[in-house]
Structure 1
């Protein structure tokens, strides 16, 4: 019996050989049983039994072979998933290295490079948005029903309110973006919306994240907090109450690692002003952490391959329905995200200057509470 590393071609040949042997034994058994000269005695029974045992044995051999091949296939898929996870984890480090490399070159920065610079630019555009949800949390109303109910009682023309965008939020809400603060306040102050069972509020913003680079791999979370307090003149209350240690990223198994922390807007400002922090025996660079996850399977944002729900893969090069690694097209690239949003799409979905990628970064920054 051969090992589990058998190729698909080997399995195909092996299967064909066994089918031929089984068919031969079947024909011989039929001929033997139909021969009127053969009387079924002990000798004949033994002969028939031998044929049957040979057939059963070869079928068992085939089943074992296919089982081993299936096991090899499962292991290969596991290895592929591990590689994809590793690629996703290291994308953050690659982006950081690219960003540092770009800042070493003279010339004008691209918009994407500006977004990835060490200090977050908070003036991309005003976030004059509100979210609208049913007051009754048990309702089955979907976003389209909510939209129709709003249109029945709220007329932007009559109210003098300029609206730039309306989009669905999940299965039970709407996000409405107004042109300015006055338009936003007019929507918030409208009592009719409340009377029909709708709650209008500002979107909840996420806390800022910072990245610490070159953190000693063996350091504990308690030692990080202690170092920030005692070596960097941070107040104990701030570190204990306003900081949450996040996830590691970058190369695994080394002497150092990169680490994210979630902080309050005030603590963010204090730590960024230091530009570097002392942790145990190390001095670590600290920067804003503004990164968008891009799925290697569907090229969508804000999720990774492991949690992708797309029914089919999408190529990052040509936007076709196949894995990027198997793309054979040589013509100019097509970005699936920009094509979907009717933007210039003559670039790969992985391009750092991709308009859809930049818009995703903008959205992340606008959803983050940076304070004054």
Structure 2
């Protein structure tokens, strides 16, 4: 099923009235088919904080005749020049490249190291944190997870 953005907002709000209050702010930012099939679509929807909590608690939205899974799409910007957070490499002020694979001062494309060492986790005060992963491995990166949770709590502050 293919929806225009405005029509999708209408479906979301009308078919899921129990989730939203009268002050709902809902905007569809993008709608695109999945890479694996063009018959299933993924929408990126921006909502207000209360609606966000209600949607995440519900775990799904009725759209058309389908119950659609929802997930958190809050993401941190990551720089692939200095491996820092909250900016992209085109806005990076660092003079040197930091390799996200081994933490040395060179671009990732020039890395010959077989050892993984996360520059983000190496910067944490807790010395018991595993640093034997690349900075791009978000499933293992404690520093990224901590920063993500902090960022999420800042933007999702409620009353």
Considering the TM-score relative to the shorter chain, is it more than 0.5? yes
Q: 1:243 aligns with which of 13, 23, 26?
A: 26
In the TM superposition, 1:1-372 aligns within 5 A as: 218-233=2-17, 237-239=22-24, 242-247=25-30, 251=35, 254-330=38-114, 332-344=115-127, 345-351=131-137, 352-371=139-158
Higher Rg of the two aligned structures: 1
Cα separation, 1, equivalents of 2:5 and 2:96: 40
Alpha-carbon shift at residue 283 of structure 1 (Å):
3.0
- Shift in CA distance, 295/252, structure 1 to aligned 2, threshold 3 Å: farther
- Shift in CA distance, 230/243, structure 1 to aligned 2, threshold 3 Å: closer
Counterpart secondary structure, 1:259: strand
Note the residue ranges of structure 1 that are not aligned, 5 or more in a row.
1-215
Q: How big is the alpha-carbon RMSD for the aligned residues of Structure 1 and Structure 2?
A: 3.1
Cα separation, 2, equivalents of 1:320 and 1:353: 19
- Shift in CA distance, 230/358, structure 1 to aligned 2, threshold 3 Å: closer
Cα separation, 2, equivalents of 1:223 and 1:370: 29
Alpha-carbon shift at residue 306 of structure 1 (Å):
4.0
Question: Which stretches of structure 1, 4 residues or more, deviate above 6 A after TM superposition?
Answer: none
Alpha-carbon shift at residue 362 of structure 1 (Å):
2.3
Higher helix share: 1
Alpha-carbon shift at residue 223 of structure 1 (Å):
0.8
Counterpart secondary structure, 1:245: strand
Cα separation, 2, equivalents of 1:309 and 1:248: 34
Counterpart secondary structure, 1:288: coil
Cα separation, 1, equivalents of 2:88 and 2:36: 19
1:314-361 Cα offsets, whole Å, 9 max, x none, are 21111122222321112x322222333455434321232222112211
Alpha-carbon shift at residue 287 of structure 1 (Å):
2.5
The corresponding residue for 1:179 is none
Q: TM-score, normalised to structure 1's length?
A: 0.35
- Shift in CA distance, 324/348, structure 1 to aligned 2, threshold 3 Å: same
Cα separation, 1, equivalents of 2:48 and 2:90: 30
The corresponding residue for 1:211 is none
Residue-pair matches, total: 153
- Shift in CA distance, 349/272, structure 1 to aligned 2, threshold 3 Å: closer
- Shift in CA distance, 337/229, structure 1 to aligned 2, threshold 3 Å: closer
